Amino acid sequence: MSDDKKKVITVKGQLVLKTFARTTKSESLGVYLRTADGSFLIRPAGRNPFMDNPLAELAGKYIEAEGRKSDYVFFARRWKEITEEEAGL
């Protein structure tokens, strides 16, 4: 595993629900974190990816999350709700 995938980082942004893997057998509603640098899937670290994502309840809200990024998924170890101004969007 590369050092970038092991590195714990903090990101800020807005949680949004969008279709993931459109037009495939895996199509589902995904929780994305929209940041100033782009958008990526977000889910709690160590949780089953086929179970409901508890972050979906915060859709539309702004969060600060700590975790690691692997390709297009951010695995959040901790998160807290913040204001839009704190998110910097």
* Span 22-77, pLDDT tens digits: 788 766 778 999 999 889 999 999 988 778 899 999 999 999 999 999 888 999 99
Give the per-residue pLDDT at 3.
57
Residue 20: which domain range?
3-82
Non-local CB neighbours of 72 within 8 Å, separated by 6+ positions? 40, 41
Does 87 fall in a domain?
A: no
Residue 10 belongs to domain with CATH number? 2.40.50.140
Residue 38 near residue 11 (C-beta atoms within 8 A) = no
Domain count for the chain: 1
pLDDT at 23: 81
35 vs 89, higher pLDDT: 35
88 domain-assigned: no
